[in-house]
Amino acid sequence: MDLLQTIFITLATLAILVAVHEYGHFWVARRCGVKVLRFSIGFGRPLARWHDRLGTEYTLAAIPLGGYVKMLDEREGEVPTAELGGAFNRKPVLQRIAVVAAGPLANFLLAIVAYWGLFLAGESGYAPLIDKVEAGSVADLAGLEPGQEVVAVDGRETPTWQALSFRLLERIGDTGEIRFTARYPDSDIRYESSARLDAWLAGEEEPDLLGGIGLKLFTPPVEPRADEIVPGGAAERAGLAVGDLVLSADGRPMPLWEDWVAFVRERPGQAIDLRVRRENGSEFEARIVPEPATSEAGEPIGRIGMAVAVPPMPEHLRRDFERGPVEALGAGIRRTGELISFTLESVRKMLQGLISPKNLSGPITIAKVASTSAKSGLESYIGFLALLSVSLGVLNLLPIPVLDGGHLLYYAVELVVGRPVPERIQAVGYQVGLFLVISLMMLALYNDFARL
Instruction: Enumerate domains of the chain plus CATH numbers.
Output: 96-122+324-452 (no CATH), 124-220+312-321 (2.30.42.10), 226-308 (2.30.42.10)
Q: What pLDDT digit, counting tens, does each position of 207-241 carry?
A: 899 999 999 999 999 999 999 999 999 999 999 99
Residues 6+ apart with CB under 8 A from 359: 205, 350, 447
pLDDT of residue 414: 92
List the beta bridge partners of residue 193.
Answer: 180
pLDDT of residue 370: 74
pLDDT of residue 294: 85
Q: What pLDDT digit, counting tens, does each position of 262-301 carry?
A: 999 999 999 999 999 999 999 999 999 999 988 766 789 9
pLDDT of residue 297: 67
Phi then psi dihedrals of residue 148, to 5 deg: -85, 155
Q: How far apart are CA 25 and CA 47, in angstroms?
A: 22
On whether the CB atoms of residues 50 and 41 are closer than 8 A, the answer is no
| 140-169 residues labelled b (16+ CB within 10 A) or e (exposed) | bbbebeeebbbbbbeeeebbbbebbebbbe
User: What's the mean pLDDT when you consider all of the chain?
Assistant: 91
pLDDT, mean of residues 30-53? 93
pLDDT, mean of residues 100-128? 95
**In sequence order, which ranges of 184-248 are alpha helices (DSSP H)?**
209-213, 234-237
Cβ neighbours around 450 below 10 Å, total: 11
Q: Is the per-residue pLDDT at 1 higher than 70? A: no
What letter does residue 148 receive in the DSSP assignment?
-
Q: Is the per-residue pLDDT at 360 higher than 80? A: no
pLDDT, mean of residues 424-434? 88
On whether the CB atoms of residues 426 and 408 are closer than 8 A, the answer is no
**Residue 22 annotated as catalytic:** yes
Strands 57-71 and 130-133: unpaired
Q: Is the per-residue pLDDT at 2 higher than 80? A: no
Q: What pLDDT digit, counting tens, does each position of 361-405 carry?
A: 777 777 777 777 777 788 889 999 999 999 999 999 999 988 999
Q: 3-class DSSP state for residue 323? A: coil
Q: Is the per-residue pLDDT at 130 higher than 80? A: yes
pLDDT of residue 452: 61
Q: What pLDDT digit, counting tens, does each position of 150-171 carry?
A: 999 999 999 999 999 999 999 9
**In sequence order, which ranges of 290-422 are alpha helices (DSSP H)?**
325-351, 363-376, 378-397, 404-417
CA distances from 283 to 238, 249, 277, 279 (A): 14, 14, 4, 9
pLDDT of residue 268: 93
Q: How confident is the model at residue 306 (pLDDT cuts 50, 70, 90)?
A: very high
Q: How far apart are CA 183 and CA 189, in angstroms?
A: 6
On whether the CB atoms of residues 191 and 143 are closer than 8 A, the answer is yes
Question: Pick the residue with more confidence: 313 or 450?
Answer: 313
Q: At what angle do helices 404-417 and 423-451 cross, to 10 degrees?
A: 150
- Measured in whole angstroms, how far is the alpha carbon of residue 69 from the centre of its chain? 27
Point out the catalytic residue in the list 22, 83, 149, 157.
22
pLDDT of residue 371: 76
List the beta bridge partners of residue 215.
Answer: 133
| 436-447 residues labelled b (16+ CB within 10 A) or e (exposed) | bbeebeeebbeb
Q: Is the per-residue pLDDT at 351 higher than 60? A: yes
